[in-house]
Amino acid sequence: MKKFYITTPIYYPSGNWHIGHCYTTVICDALARFHKLMGEDVYFLTGTDEHGQKVEKEATKRGVTPRGFIDPLVGRLQDMWRLLDIGYDRFIRTTDEDHIRCVQKVYQKLYDSGDIYKAEYEGYYCTPCEAFWTEAQLKNGKCPDCGRDVSLQKEESYFFRLSKYAPRILKLYEDNPAFLQPKSRVNEMVNNFLKAGLNDFSVSRTTVKWGVPLPFDEKHTAYVWIDALLNYISALGYGTDGDERYKKYWPADLHLVGKEIVRFHAIVWPAILMALGEPLPKQIYGHGWLLIGGEKLSKSKENARPELTDPYELVKRYGADAVRYYLLREIPFGSDGEYTGERFLGRINADLANDLGNLVSRTTAMITQNFDSLPACGEIEPLDREIEEMTDALFPRVKDAMDRLNAPEALEHIFALVGRANKYIDETQPWLLAKDPGKKERLGTVLYHLAEVCRVSAILLKPFLTKAPAFILESFSYPADVGFGEAKFGSLRAGAQVRKLPPLFPRYDIRKELSEVEKLLASAKAEPSKPPKAEISEKAEISIDDFSKIELKVGEVIACEKVQKSEKLLHETVRVGEEVRSVVSGIAKYYTPEEMVGKRVVLVTNLKPVKLCGVLSEGMILCAEDGEGNLSLLSPEKAVESGAKIR
């Protein structure tokens, strides 16, 4: 079986994550999902880069241990990935024991082979970037990457013989153009670094205690960048008896990284692997940045406002599919892209709400209005043939784009089919066919074609969107877990049950929405968060028998929409085992309908049904409420089947 090993950089536990940070990981996730659906054996690695001066300083400032400082931040990063449905295979932390042992082993090996030696180091250090610069490299005396102050540091240090490997790295770029992409990054590396020749590289610190101690000189800790780069092989068990994963997955098929860290990945990393005698990754791709006002989006530079850039807020407000879609579709792959609220909402409105959402809701509505189930496909007309051919051509087109890592292009192809199908509705005018009993068969054929476009588009959207595709497939009673083998015209069987879908994505009034966001940001700035109020319950005791009267089960939200004329209520369709229930809950302020879909919730299933705002509610979804009245859904901690009892 073909394998595919893909990595993101490991993230600094800064806590200051913005939507730009999500870019690398969302693309990796889409690529990992794509290759899994191709039937490949995929290993997708991400994690955190936890050692170094920055963490040490922050922890000291707060009077806590580095671990005490980092752990909650790592948890918060993992929450962010959970919200965005990032399906990694391992989350590595550079404080993991297996990683630390691997770092020590590598240093020992390179020291023994003479590739690491002791000398004295003098250089300008940029703490936020954890990078050393020579005087010549500084820009107006500041860090050339981030423009912040640097400090002159002088210390005894171990050096790695990077200079020795410069000719081999240049040759690598020449012989293997696929190694570093896009091509512009090769020019940057050659012109900015390699042309002038490489200096040996300082790889240890005596001034930083929060790091991996060198096995041959415990006064020194490993330089964070070497420590960090080694995560790509330590995660696979490199250098241990349990190195089956290393044998299986290494070399990596792709290290996807932002352009500012290409030099570590495309110069230092191959040199270390050469020194170790290990194979090199097949490709390093340096993607562009999300910009605000032409500058790299970055919270510390405070250019992150007035746009909504907080990933947690973005997902909460618009749903994971919308955020993923924006990142994957809007930024031309390899280049920088400007981030604005208008562009974000414009994309959601145009592609997700108008094109995809309309196609699916119109198709399912017309089928359920005119037929009991999916109609059969009758005689074909040239227009239908065109739809069939375009549908069949979609998978090869998407694959070709994804083989070049080009998610925006892959999505462009999918939405070209969606757009063509919407035009086909205008051309075939099914609402007129529905009025003429003699045209019933023709109506069936048109709707069958539309259903097939919905199904095939949903299958091909699975790497990019994690909620809507399953939702679309289920509405045609089609299994959601199929691979790309099914992405061909003609798999749906006449007679399949079809369920009318509510609009998948809301359409935003962009001006109104942006002014709401601005108000929200202004009030968040004005009101620093208050400590939660403590509250002790004074409710009467109950017996276990009383408690056992309440039936609680796990339910899966399969559809959700806002209740009209209510600001507070959402209407969920919840699957509880074999049963499907209509449930109304007062959580619209805390969750969007898109966010709710796919969630596993805890449902009180034996409450007397009631109507709320005219909508039937056959159960109650349980939430936790904090001292401020904010609600948070309760969900089982592990994957549990819907219908599971709660005791």
Q: Is 297 in the site for ligand MSP (CB under 6 A)?
A: yes
Task: Give one word for 334, left, alpha or beta, with left for phi > 0 and alpha for psi -120 to 50.
Answer: left
Sheet with strand 201-202: strands edge to edge = 131-133, 116-126, 151-160, 201-202
Q: Is 49 in the site for ligand MSP (CB under 6 A)?
A: yes
Q: Is 266 in the site for ligand MSP (CB under 6 A)?
A: no
Q: Is 10 in the site for ligand MSP (CB under 6 A)?
A: yes
Residue among 393, 372, 578, 626 at smallest CA distance from 489: 393
Least separation in angstroms between residue 549's CB and ligand MSP is 50
Q: Is 23 in the site for ligand MSP (CB under 6 A)?
A: yes
Site size for ligand MSP (CB under 6 A) = 19
Rg (CA), the chain: 28
Strand 180-181 and strand 284-287: pairing?
A: parallel
Determine which residue in the list 239, 258, 270, 555 makes contact with ligand MSP, applying CB under 6 A: 258
Q: Is 554 in the site for ligand MSP (CB under 6 A)?
A: no
Q: Select the span of 6-14, 273-281, 493-501, 515-523 touching ligand MSP (CB under 6 A).
A: 6-14
Q: Is 344 in the site for ligand MSP (CB under 6 A)?
A: no
Nearer to ligand MSP, 405 or 498 (CB): 405
Least separation in angstroms between residue 192's CB and ligand MSP is 17
Q: For the window 188-227, what string marks contact with ligand MSP as x by the rule CB under 6 A?
A: ----------------------------------------
Q: Give the separation between CA 160 and CA 201, rounded to whole angstroms.
A: 5
Q: Write out the E strands in 149-228.
A: 151-160, 180-181, 201-202, 204-205, 213-214, 217-222
Determine which residue in the list 4, 5, 6, 11 makes contact with ligand MSP, applying CB under 6 A: 11
Least separation in angstroms between residue 136's CB and ligand MSP is 23
Backbone angles phi, psi at 630, to 5 degrees: -75, 140
Alpha helices of 190-319 — where are they, by DSSP H?
224-229, 231-234, 244-249, 262-263, 269-276, 311-318
Q: Is 106 in the site for ligand MSP (CB under 6 A)?
A: no
Nearer to ligand MSP, 29 or 595 (CB): 29
Nearer to ligand MSP, 24 or 445 (CB): 24
Determine which residue in the list 4, 5, 6, 21 makes contact with ligand MSP, applying CB under 6 A: 21
Residue 472 vs residues 376, 413, 494, 576, 601: alpha-carbon distances, Å: 19, 19, 17, 19, 21
Determine which residue in the list 4, 5, 6, 24 makes contact with ligand MSP, applying CB under 6 A: 24
Which residue is at the shortest CB distance from ligand MSP?
Answer: 258
Least separation in angstroms between residue 312's CB and ligand MSP is 16
Least separation in angstroms between residue 352's CB and ligand MSP is 22
Question: 616 forms bridges with which residues in the sheet?
Answer: 611
Nearer to ligand MSP, 256 or 421 (CB): 256
Q: Is 435 helix (H, G, I), strand (E, B) or coil?
A: coil
Nearer to ligand MSP, 276 or 290 (CB): 290
Determine which residue in the list 103, 150, 290, 308 makes contact with ligand MSP, applying CB under 6 A: 290
Nearer to ligand MSP, 260 or 518 (CB): 260
Determine which residue in the list 83, 92, 212, 257 makes contact with ligand MSP, applying CB under 6 A: 257
Least separation in angstroms between residue 160's CB and ligand MSP is 15
Q: Give the separation between CA 469 and CA 462, rounded to whole angstroms.
A: 6
Contacts with 202 (C-beta within 8 Å, 6 or more apart), sequence order: 121, 123, 132, 157, 158, 159, 160, 223
Q: Is 229 in the site for ligand MSP (CB under 6 A)?
A: yes
Q: Give the separation between CA 199 and CA 163, rounded to whole angstroms.
A: 5
Nearer to ligand MSP, 12 or 326 (CB): 12
Determine which residue in the list 27, 166, 228, 588 makes contact with ligand MSP, applying CB under 6 A: 228
Question: 93 forms bridges with which residues in the sheet?
Answer: 48
- Note whether 187 and 170 are within 8 A (CB): no
Q: Write out the E strands in 380-463.
A: none
Beta carbons within 10 angstroms of residue 61's beta carbon: 9
Q: For the window 372-391, what string marks contact with ligand MSP as x by the rule CB under 6 A?
A: --------------------
Nearer to ligand MSP, 257 or 447 (CB): 257
Question: 91 forms bridges with which residues in the sheet?
Answer: 46
Nearer to ligand MSP, 288 or 319 (CB): 288
**Helix, strand, coil percentages for the chain (3-state, nearest 5):** 45, 20, 35
Q: Give the separation between CA 313 and CA 110, rounded to whole angstroms.
A: 46
Nearer to ligand MSP, 90 or 399 (CB): 90
Q: Give the separation between CA 254 and CA 181, rounded to whole angstroms.
A: 10
Determine which residue in the list 20, 334, 444, 555 makes contact with ligand MSP, applying CB under 6 A: 20
Least separation in angstroms between residue 238's CB and ligand MSP is 15
SS (H, E, C) 338-352: ECCHHHHHHHHHHHH
70's enclosing H/E stretch is helix 66-83
Least separation in angstroms between residue 336's CB and ligand MSP is 8
Least separation in angstroms between residue 76's CB and ligand MSP is 13
Structure token digits, residue 24: 């690398």
Q: Give the separation between CA 603 and CA 642, rounded to whole angstroms.
A: 10
Q: Is 451 in the site for ligand MSP (CB under 6 A)?
A: no
Nearer to ligand MSP, 296 or 467 (CB): 296
Determine which residue in the list 12, 107, 132, 476 makes contact with ligand MSP, applying CB under 6 A: 12
Q: Give the separation between CA 349 and CA 364, rounded to whole angstroms.
A: 20
- Note whether 246 and 275 are within 8 A (CB): no
Q: Select the span of 9-17, 388-396, 485-493, 496-504 touching ligand MSP (CB under 6 A).
A: 9-17
Determine which residue in the list 93, 296, 449, 467 makes contact with ligand MSP, applying CB under 6 A: 296
Q: Is 81 in the site for ligand MSP (CB under 6 A)?
A: no
Q: Give the separation between CA 260 and CA 145, rounded to whole angstroms.
A: 7
Determine which residue in the list 4, 5, 6, 9 makes contact with ligand MSP, applying CB under 6 A: 9
- Note whether 94 and 49 are within 8 A (CB): yes
Please report, as ranges, the residues that interact with ligand MSP according to CB under 6 A: 9-12, 20-21, 23-24, 49, 228-229, 257-258, 260-261, 289-290, 296-297
